């Protein structure tokens, strides 16, 4: 199958007028990789090892002019177009078959404005790139929880992380963006410039262009925070999840916890006799007054005797990279999420039951505690719709071998279907989209029609459609 797909990539490349390709490459400051080049396989590889796609060209951009050239080339030659920031979207939207990949990896510069308390980050930057620079000044902006994740997809689809309940989504902290739209124009979008576009990119994903620069507001965070990371035997799941539910109802904004079912990893931090056993765990953090001694997590820590307790003061940058080793490049991933209006015994029962039946000990089922600063923003203030939901359940199927693809994807879909049938479940989250197989309206709710209008204005031919696509009103799909 790989050979056939590679031939499709070759065929798409050879169908392009050779003079046009030569002209494009000659005017490009970065590197343009084609299927015959030795580095082609490395250039098309992304984080999710399950994704195998074969583009005609990978355009490794060195600056905004390169992005304009690549977008223009794709439009003029009617090529599928994908945009790679960090390449971490689980659906593989960073690469396409037979088209052009606009690769921003080398555009990863970060600049902090201490006086304005803002940070400018290029579209290829990762969370780690941003945190490294902002933490020099004891500042941070809400991003995700894995430092190798790209800021672009994370922010355009929402952006939950350790700081969310206090400071909002990543997109809520955007001050402005620079974006190359389908016509090759470089636009700045903010509350005062191209306001409709600024509204749309905050939650509308990559539907409207290539964001080459993000400007975020910064907040005082760190350099040290308190990390809460505790694991219990699965026999304690009922008590632990009940305590988690109770904790979320009165939790301060400067503390947050993620609850998840998992299996004990084969690591020295855990007693060897527990390796491979099912478990329930909490991962969280606290800042400000709540970070003093971790007492804010006391009711969670005391529900039972932990298998392992790795809590304590930690540098914020280390907290942000704590999970990096769990999600390496090339592992196989299928993640889906659904919002919850309430935590119920039925939700908890499914977390425990399906954890026991998972075909991969690397997989988890997670409950995110949301609300607070996210819910403070009106649902129509940005394209991100599901602000009113206080919780989110995520099924993370993670495994190693290609022959196990069907078993793990089917398991995740079975979990998801069972949870989706509950009356407390609704919606979708764009950063954990499975393979983008669900109706896009589930992401955007009542904001969908307005997104269609903005899409029609800025991308009437639907050039940007490798993500969860909002089609323009013209009906081009």
pLDDT at 477 > cutoff 60: no
Number of H helices, E strands in the chain: 16, 20
Alpha-helical regions (H) of 367-404: 373-376
CATH number for 309: 3.40.462.20
pLDDT at 229 > cutoff 60: yes
pLDDT at 137 > cutoff 50: yes
Where does residue 469 rank: exposed (0-12), middle (13-18), buried (19+ CB within 10 A)?
middle
**pTM for this prediction:** 0.94
Any domain includes 132: yes
> Are the C-beta atoms of 95 and 101 separated by less than 8 Å?
yes
Q: Are residues 160 and 85 in the same domain?
A: no
The stretch 281-287 carries a mean pLDDT of 95
Task: Show Cβ contacts of residue 194 under 8 Å, excluding neighbours closer than 6 positions.
Answer: 187, 188
Task: Show Cβ contacts of residue 128 under 8 Å, excluding neighbours closer than 6 positions.
Answer: 147, 148, 317, 320, 321
Any domain includes 471: no
Any domain includes 470: no
In 352-415, the DSSP E strands lie at 364-369, 391-399
Any domain includes 142: yes
> Are the C-beta atoms of 168 and 376 separated by less than 8 Å?
yes
Instruction: List pLDDT tens digits, range 38-61.
Output: 999 999 999 999 999 999 999 999
pLDDT at 293 > cutoff 90: no
pLDDT at 4 > cutoff 70: no
Any domain includes 467: no
Q: Are residues 81 and 116 in the same domain?
A: no
Q: Are residues 76 and 213 in the same domain?
A: no
According to the model, what pLDDT value does residue 394 have?
Answer: 98
Instruction: List pLDDT tens digits, range 231-272.
Output: 999 999 999 999 999 999 999 999 999 999 999 999 999 999
Last residue of a domain, one of 55, 87, 103: 103
Any domain includes 441: no
According to the model, what pLDDT value does residue 294 have?
Answer: 83
Q: Are residues 192 and 173 in the same domain?
A: yes
Q: Are residues 17 and 67 in the same domain?
A: yes
According to the model, what pLDDT value does residue 467 have?
Answer: 86
Element (H, E) at 2: helix 2-14
CATH number for 161: 3.30.465.10
Q: Are residues 241 and 366 in the same domain?
A: yes
According to the model, what pLDDT value does residue 10 have?
Answer: 85
Residue 71, helix vs strand vs coil:
helix
Average pLDDT, the chain: 95
Q: Are residues 141 and 214 in the same domain?
A: yes
According to the model, what pLDDT value does residue 6 have?
Answer: 66
Last residue of a domain, one of 103, 121, 139: 103
Q: How many domains does the chain have?
A: 3
CATH number for 61: 3.30.43.10
Instruction: List pLDDT tens digits, range 302-319.
Output: 999 999 999 999 999 999
Any domain includes 340: yes
Q: Are residues 94 and 124 in the same domain?
A: no
pLDDT at 3 > cutoff 60: no
According to the model, what pLDDT value does residue 292 have?
Answer: 77
Q: Are residues 157 and 47 in the same domain?
A: no
Instruction: List pLDDT tens digits, range 381-421.
Output: 999 999 999 999 999 999 999 999 999 999 999 999 999 99
Instruction: List pLDDT tens digits, range 182-227.
Output: 999 999 999 999 999 999 999 999 999 999 999 999 999 989 999 9
Q: What percent of the chain has pLDDT over 70?
A: 98
The stretch 111-118 carries a mean pLDDT of 97
- Domain of residue 233 covers 224-426
Any domain includes 137: yes
Q: Are residues 397 and 260 in the same domain?
A: yes
pLDDT at 476 > cutoff 50: no
pLDDT tier for residue 78 given thresholds of 50, 70 and 90: very high
Q: Are residues 53 and 148 in the same domain?
A: no
The stretch 158-172 carries a mean pLDDT of 96
Q: Are residues 419 and 282 in the same domain?
A: yes
Task: Give the DSSP letter of residue 217.
Answer: E
């Amino acid at each position: 199958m790989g050979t056939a797909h590679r031939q499709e990539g070759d065929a798409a490349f050879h169908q392009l007028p050779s003079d046009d390709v030569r002209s494009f490459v000659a005017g490009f400051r970065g590197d343009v990789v084609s299927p015959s080049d030795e580095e082609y396989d490395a250039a098309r590889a992304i984080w999710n090892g399950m994704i195998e796609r074969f583009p005609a060209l990978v355009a490794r951009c060195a600056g905004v002019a390169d992005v304009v050239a690549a977008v223009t080339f794709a439009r003029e030659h009617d090529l599928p177009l994908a945009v790679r920031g960090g390449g971490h979207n689980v659906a593989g939207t960073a690469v396409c078959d037979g088209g052009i990949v606009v690769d921003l990896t080398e555009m990863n510069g970060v600049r902090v404005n201490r006086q304005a308390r803002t940070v400018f980050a290029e579209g290829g930057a990762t969370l780690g790139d941003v945190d490294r620079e902002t933490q020099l000044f004891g500042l941070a902006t809400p991003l995700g929880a894995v430092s190798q994740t790209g800021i672009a997809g994370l922010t355009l689809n929402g952006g939950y992380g350790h700081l969310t309940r206090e400071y909002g989504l990543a997109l809520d902290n955007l001050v402005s963006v620079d974006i190359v739209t389908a016509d090759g124009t470089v636009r700045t979008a903010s509350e005062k410039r191209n306001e409709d576009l600024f509204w749309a990119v905050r939650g509308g994903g990559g539907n409207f262009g290539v964001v080459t620069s993000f400007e975020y507001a910064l907040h005082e965070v760190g350099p040290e925070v308190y990390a809460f990371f505790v694991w219990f035997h699965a026999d304690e799941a009922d008590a632990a999840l009940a305590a988690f539910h109770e904790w979320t109802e009165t939790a301060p904004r400067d503390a947050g916890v993620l609850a998840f079912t998992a299996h004990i990893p084969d690591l020295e931090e855990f007693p060897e006799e527990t390796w491979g056993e099912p478990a329930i765990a909490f991962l969280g953090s606290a800042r400000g007054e709540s970070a003093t001694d971790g007492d804010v997590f006391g009711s969670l820590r005391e529900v039972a005797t932990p298998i392992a307790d790795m809590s304590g003061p930690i540098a914020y940058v280390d907290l942000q990279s704590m999970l990096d080793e769990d999600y390496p490049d090339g592992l196989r991933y299928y993640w889906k999420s659904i919002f919850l209006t309430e935590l119920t015994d039925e939700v908890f029962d499914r977390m425990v039951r399906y954890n026991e039946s998972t075909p991969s000990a690397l997989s988890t089922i997670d409950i995110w505690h949301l609300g607070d600063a996210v819910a403070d923003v009106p649902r129509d203030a940005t394209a991100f719709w599901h602000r009113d939901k206080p919780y989110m359940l995520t099924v993370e199927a993670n495994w190693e071998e290609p022959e196990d693809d069907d078993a793990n994807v089917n398991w995740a879909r079975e979990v998801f279907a069972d949870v989706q049938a509950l009356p407390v479940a609704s919606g979708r989250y764009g950063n954990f989209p499975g393979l983008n197989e669900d109706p896009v309206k589930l992401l955007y709710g009542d904001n969908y029609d307005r997104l269609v209008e903005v899409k029609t204005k800025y991308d009437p031919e639907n050039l940007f459609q490798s993500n969860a696509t909002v089609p323009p009103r013209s009906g081009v799909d």
